[in-house]
Structures are given as C-alpha cells and as structure tokens.
Amino acid sequence: MAKALVTWGGWDGHEPDKVAALFAGWLGEAGMAVEVTDSLSCFDEPEALKSVDLIVPVWTMSQIGKDQALNACAAVAAGTGIAGCHGGMCDAFRENVDWQFMTGAQWVAHPGNDGVRYGVRMVSTDPLVAGVADFEVETEQYYLHIDPVVKVHAVCDFPVADGPHAVNGPVAMPVVFTKGYGAGRVYYNALGHKAQVIGAGPAAELMRRGLIWAARRG
C-alpha cells in the first residue's frame, strides 16, 4: 500500500488543519495509508522519509531546519513525490532556497489581497487537466516567481487588481504546474487560501488529481 505523509502548521490564516484533513481524506479514498502530523520532526529521519511515497506539506511561512529541508529534498530526488497548494508549499520556509529550488516557485505578492475574482484557464492537454473546463474563483491571486523548467497546466491573467506591477502589461501566471526533481514528481496548485476554495468543484478535482499523480510509481 502506498504511504502518504501530510504535515501541517505555520500561519493559521490558511487553515492548515482543515486543508490537511481534506487532503488526507482524498488520499485515503485513493487507497493510500496516510499519516498526518502537525510537526516538522517528520523530516528528521532521512531513511524513513525516503520510504514515504508522497509528501504533502501544508506549511505557510514558518521555518524549517537546514537538515530537515535537505532530507525532504533527498527523499524527493530518490523518488518520493511532493504535492501541495497555495502558501502551504510555495510560501513555506521563505529563508530556505533548497526548498524553493525543489518545489519550483515562491509566492511574492497577491495584488488585491483576498476576494479578487479571476479566471483560471487550462493550457495543457495533460491528463491532469483533461475534461476540466476553465473556471472562475474569488480568492487571493498569487503572483509567483517561477522555475522556468516547470510544465504549466493552468494559468490566470494579471493584472486584475491594480498596482505597481500593472505597468508591465498582461502576463499569464501559472496556477497549476508540475516538474521533476531527480526521480520524484512535484505538483503545485496556487489555489487554496481557505479550505473551501479548494474543497469542491474544478479546483478540488485538479488538486485531487495532482496529489495522486505525484505519488511514487511502482
């Protein structure tokens, strides 16, 4: 049976406990054995971490130990998948560049803050988004600094809310992307400011598929 590790904590505003429970439920329904923890001590033992098939971090901001981050990177490089959403993966551990290099992006701004209405457009033919139509959300719109190697599956358009970035003109910002890291798969979805944002509808379907896709194969 595949094993998933869901670890949550950090800024309470992103409801990490609720998001972690949501993801754990989907993974259990997919037939995985799921461990849920509210501690980063799960990253302390490198060999134990490599035995996990999927890591799901739900940590906004906070701090991670250097060895803990390197252990997570080594596990993914060895074949453990990693998947996450919103601030829980790509605004985690802002001071740790190893984490950012592995996960493929870092949040830098959300012009308009929460409550911005914008469209999410599918831009690939990958099975991860097959059959999912373009949709609208009302939530934070993430502006990310992105690893150029990522494979983009869905985007949103900036600017929607005005700000100093708007002078640069329109840009299609990745919302859903994947990449490889050694033998491991990396999946990210920028939605999920609150659990309800990603708890139902197209956003939930994209996230559920991504979690399952990222898990180790074979």
Q: Which CATH class is domain 3-214?
A: alpha beta
Q: Say yes or no to pLDDT of 218 above 80.
A: no
Q: What percent of the chain has pLDDT over 70?
A: 100
Structure confidence by residue, pLDDT tens digits, 130-179: 999 999 999 999 999 999 999 999 999 999 999 999 999 999 999 999 99
pLDDT of residue 96: 98
Residues near 165 by beta carbon (within 8 Å), at least 6 away in sequence = 109, 111, 143, 158, 159
Q: How far is CA 7 from the centre of its chain?
A: 13
131: left (phi over 0), alpha (psi -120 to 50) or beta: left
Q: What confidence score (pLDDT) does residue 217 get?
A: 85
Could you check whether the bond before residue 170 is cis, i.e. omega within 30 degrees of 0? no
Q: d(Cα 18, Cα 199) in Å, to the nearest integer?
A: 10
State the average pLDDT over residues 178-189.
98
CB atoms under 10 Å from CB of 70, counted, come to 17
pLDDT of residue 101 exceeding 90, the answer is: yes
Tens-digit pLDDT profile for residues 20-44: 999 999 999 999 999 999 999 999 9
* Separation CA 170–CA 129 (nearest Å): 24
Q: How far apart are CA 86 and CA 188, in angstroms?
A: 8
Query: Which are the contacts of 3, defined by CB distance < 8 A and separation ≥ 6?
Result: 32, 33, 34, 35, 51, 52, 53, 54
Q: Exposed/middle/buried for 138, CB within 10 Å: 0-12, 13-18, 19+?
A: exposed
Cβ atoms within 10 Å of 130's Cβ, excluding its own: 11
Eight-state DSSP code of residue 61: B
Taking the domains of the chain in order of start, what are their residue ranges?
3-214
Inter-residue contact 85 to 60 (CB < 8 Å) = no
